Amino acid sequence: MYLKSLEIHGFKSFPDKIKLTFDKGITGVVGPNGSGKSNIGDAVRWVLGEQSTKTLRGNKMEDIIFAGTASRKPVGFASVTLVIDNSGREFDVDGDEVAVMRKLYRSGESEYRLNGKNVRLKDINELFMDTGLGRDGYSIIGQGRISEIVSAKSNERRDIFEEAAGISKFRYKKAEAEKKLAQAQDNLLRLRDIISELESRVEPLRIQAEKAKKFAVLAAERRKTEISIWVKKLSELRKSIEQADEKILICKSQYEAAEHDTQKLEAQRKQCGVLIQQCSEKIEDLQKKILETEKNSSQYKSDTAVCENDIIYCRKNIMSLVEKQTADNLRKNECLERLEEYNKKKALLDEKSREISQNLENIENQFLKAEKDFESIDRLSDEKAAEISSLYRRKSEYSLTVNSSESIISEIKAQTENVSRQNDEYERLCESYKNEQLEIKESIIHLSELEQEHKNRLKGFSMLYENAQGKLSEHKKKYDSIILDINSASQKIKIMQELEKNMEGFSYSVKEIMKASENHILNGIKGTVAHLINVDSRYSVAVETALGGALQNIVVDNEQTAKNCIGYLKQHRAGRSTFLPVTSVKGNALSEYNLKNEDGFIAVASEIINTDEQYRGIIRSLLGRTVIADDIDSAADMARKNGYKFRIVTLDGQLVNAGGSFTGGSQARSAGVLSRKNEIDKLKNDIASLEKTKSGLEKSGLAVRNEIEKINKDTENIRNELSQVISDMAGFEAEEKRLSMMAEQSEIQLKNSRISLNTLEKRLETQQSDYK
């Protein structure tokens, strides 16, 4: 065994693939510092399984991959292959060479190969144990290694000496074996815990079984009682049904008569309905015409009243104006008459003046007097002329006043009419706003009732939701309880099946034979008696007691197979066992005694066994002369009457042997092989029943969830409707406030308009009085 070659690729300072070949003898590696001499030693350590980055002179394992330089890119992996000569077969490898390869990628993945096949690091370590070539071997002496060995502790030096002596491999195997033994011990402890747990449940299960039996008896009695009660109720119900049928017949005849009358009345009602509809249409047409006529009449009456008032007012105005004009004409005529008188007087005075002027020279005193009179008369004439012009001026002023008064009066009347129309419009608006306010208030009241109704419905849905949640919680508790029961039963089945698979309770020799049969080392083996029979759980204890160790007897197809099995046990020193060839073992059932009439007799044991017909002879051989009795007292009486000629076993496992001996006592708490099989079947049935219950609960739970979902949807709809109602209420309240403000403004405008109307009426009265 010697080192043949070392192939390095991408490891530290070797980016390119190189191969170093070593011949027999000593090979030295020389070179300047930093040329990579130590990296060759690190490569050997690494390929042999070194895991310490400190030993490899790095910080992390990725540092051993070539990281690149300024002129060269880094590589993606590092690979080292070590080839060792194996012509002397020092290694447990079929080949003249052993090629160990280790590869590491930058992603962290790594692989080991041995002669091209993928292996584990553990396989590499085991390969180099006791050869001195391992990662901890003494074949690689690095810098400072000698001083470490010299200064090492005694236990560390012992590891080196054991490696050199070639016993480290055995120490490793010893440690592995001790580790497996410790795991096996832990498994045994767990199994003991499981067995103790199962043993602690046997007695409560037995008590529950007794209670179940009592319950079955009471349930049967209750069922009989219920059936009798239901029979009585059914007879009563039949009588009630007969009476009800008679009443139904009477009611049917009455119903048919009433239906006939109803049809007649319905036909008459339809005819009346047609006539009423025609009359209603005529009435509506007449009412429309009457309304139009009344509307036109009222309009005409109002227009007539207005015109009559205008005519009367105008007549009064005309009469007053005519009276004024007449008075003015009279005054004018008076003034004209006075003016004519004055003119006449003036003419007379002129004549006198002329007479006086003619006699002026004669009468100077008279002339002066006359001149004075003339001056006074002239002044009077001027005054009268001024008065006449004043009268004309007053007449024109009166005419202007009359015209101005007429225009003002007409303007005031127009304003009065406008204000009246405005008053009517304001009154109509006020009335309209009040009506709208009433409608909105009614809408708000209706919405308030809707809001209360929706809140009540929300409370109802909340109660329904709480009830549904309670139901769902109860379903969940039941469902979780059933899941726990199913898991517990499944765990028990798993444990028992594991015990069944490991043939727990069978002797070592039986296990070896069955294992050889499974591995096809032995042929013709049918199985143990326990595996080939099935017994009702009621009789399992009795049959187990009766068979005893025969449960572990092995059934084979013929005598030669039995001999082969015995030879196999002798060859492997695996103990002893009993074999039952199908061809040679034939038994007879107990038939010479009339036992069916005996108190406590249940059956001959071979008759209650369920098995394949080819094994029936073996079962009769084992149990054909064994009787199953109810209890120990009936078994003792039965055995005494028949001279103790056969074996009797009770349901609870007490034995009366042939010959008169008794065997009995308390039954072992650990379940037997048959009981274990029956327990597995019972647990499977229980699981099936629980699965049905679970399925029912899932359906009911789904129904409850659907109900909750429906309640949530209904609740959401009610909430949306409630929010809509609240929004509508807010809108109506805002509209009511707006209408209230508009109504107030209209009333203020109406009040102002009435004030304006009163003012105009006063002005009109004043103007009319002034005009008069």
Domain boundary among 104, 135, 166: 135
pLDDT in tens, 212-253: 888 888 888 888 888 888 888 888 888 888 888 888 888 777
- Rounded to whole angstroms, the Cα distance separating 667 from 358 reads 198
* Averaged pLDDT for residues 472-487: 81
- Rounded to whole angstroms, the Cα distance separating 113 from 103 reads 9
**Which residues fall within 8 angstroms of residue 275, CB to CB, at 6 or more apart?**
none
Q: What is the pLDDT of residue 770?
A: 60
CATH number, domain at 534? 1.20.1060.20
Amino acid symbol at 61? M
Q: What is the pLDDT of residue 531?
A: 83
- Rounded to whole angstroms, the Cα distance separating 163 from 158 reads 8
Overall size of the chain counted in residues:
772
Higher pLDDT, 161 or 679: 679
pLDDT, mean over the chain = 78
- 381: its two tokens: 């004439």
Are residue 14 and residue 62 in the same domain, yes or no? Answer: yes
Query: Does 457 score more than 90 pLDDT?
Result: no
- Rounded to whole angstroms, the Cα distance separating 564 from 554 reads 13
CATH number, domain at 28? 3.40.50.300
**Structural contact between residues 771 and 454, judged by C-beta atoms closer than 8 angstroms:** no
Are residue 517 and residue 645 in the same domain, yes or no? Answer: yes
The reply to whether 269 falls in a domain is no
- Rounded to whole angstroms, the Cα distance separating 392 from 331 reads 11
The reply to whether 371 falls in a domain is no
Query: Does 412 score more than 90 pLDDT?
Result: no
φ and ψ of 70, to 5 deg: -65, -30
* Averaged pLDDT for residues 331-355: 63
φ and ψ of 563, to 5 deg: -65, -40
The reply to whether 322 falls in a domain is no
The reply to whether 758 falls in a domain is yes
pTM of the model: 0.35
pLDDT band of 772, cuts 50, 70, 90: low
Q: If you ran DSSP here, which 8-state letter would residue 591 be given?
A: -
Are residue 703 and residue 759 in the same domain, yes or no? Answer: yes
Half-sphere exposure of 369 (CA within 13 A, CB side): 7
Domain count, the chain: 3
pLDDT in tens, 642-656: 888 889 999 888 999
Domain boundary among 638, 671, 704: 671
Q: What is the pLDDT of residue 367?
A: 46
pLDDT band of 81, cuts 50, 70, 90: very high
Element (H, E) at 123: helix 121-127
The reply to whether 243 falls in a domain is no
Domain boundary among 135, 154, 184: 135
Q: What is the pLDDT of residue 705?
A: 82
CA 351 vs CA 6, 338, 361, 504: distances in Å: 185, 20, 17, 187
pLDDT in tens, 711-727: 888 888 888 887 887 87
pLDDT in tens, 99-134: 999 999 988 888 989 888 888 887 777 777 666 565
Are residue 16 and residue 65 in the same domain, yes or no? Answer: yes
Element (H, E) at 7: strand 3-9
Are residue 514 and residue 656 in the same domain, yes or no? Answer: yes
Domain assignment of residue 16, given as a range = 3-135
The reply to whether 747 falls in a domain is yes
Query: Angle between the 154-165 and 168-358 helix axes, to the nearest 10 degrees?
Result: 120
Are residue 527 and residue 647 in the same domain, yes or no? Answer: yes
Q: What is the pLDDT of residue 298?
A: 60
- Rounded to whole angstroms, the Cα distance separating 77 from 729 reads 78
Higher pLDDT, 560 or 694: 560
Q: Which of 255-269, 456-470, 606-620 has the highest mean pLDDT?
A: 606-620
**Structural contact between residues 172 and 126, judged by C-beta atoms closer than 8 angstroms:** yes
pLDDT band of 669, cuts 50, 70, 90: very low
Q: What is the pLDDT of residue 356?
A: 55
Query: Does 335 score more than 60 pLDDT?
Result: no
Are residue 560 and residue 529 in the same domain, yes or no? Answer: yes
Are residue 652 and residue 518 in the same domain, yes or no? Answer: yes
The reply to whether 56 falls in a domain is yes
CA 471 to chain centre: 16
- Rounded to whole angstroms, the Cα distance separating 615 from 623 reads 12
| Pairing relationship of beta strands 97-105 and 77-85 according to DSSP bridges | antiparallel
Higher pLDDT, 276 or 585: 585
pLDDT band of 554, cuts 50, 70, 90: very high
- Rounded to whole angstroms, the Cα distance separating 237 from 231 reads 10
CA angle, 333 as apex, 332 and 338 as ends, to 5°? 100
φ and ψ of 97, to 5 deg: -130, 150
- Rounded to whole angstroms, the Cα distance separating 560 from 565 reads 9
- Rounded to whole angstroms, the Cα distance separating 569 from 585 reads 21
Are residue 70 and residue 121 in the same domain, yes or no? Answer: yes
Element (H, E) at 103: strand 97-105
Are residue 659 and residue 693 in the same domain, yes or no? Answer: no
Can you give 592-632 as a three-state secondary structure string? CCCCCCCCCEEEEHHHHCECCHHHHHHHHHHHCCEEEECCH
pLDDT band of 80, cuts 50, 70, 90: very high
Q: What is the pLDDT of residue 719?
A: 80
The reply to whether 23 falls in a domain is yes
**Structural contact between residues 353 and 370, judged by C-beta atoms closer than 8 angstroms:** yes
pLDDT band of 78, cuts 50, 70, 90: very high
pLDDT in tens, 596-621: 778 888 888 888 888 888 888 888 88
For the chain, how far is it from start to end, CA to CA, in angstroms?
160
pLDDT in tens, 126-184: 777 666 565 555 566 666 556 666 676 777 667 666 666 566 666 767 778 888 888 88
Are residue 624 and residue 741 in the same domain, yes or no? Answer: no
Are residue 121 and residue 8 in the same domain, yes or no? Answer: yes
* Averaged pLDDT for residues 686-697: 84
Q: What is the pLDDT of residue 762?
A: 72
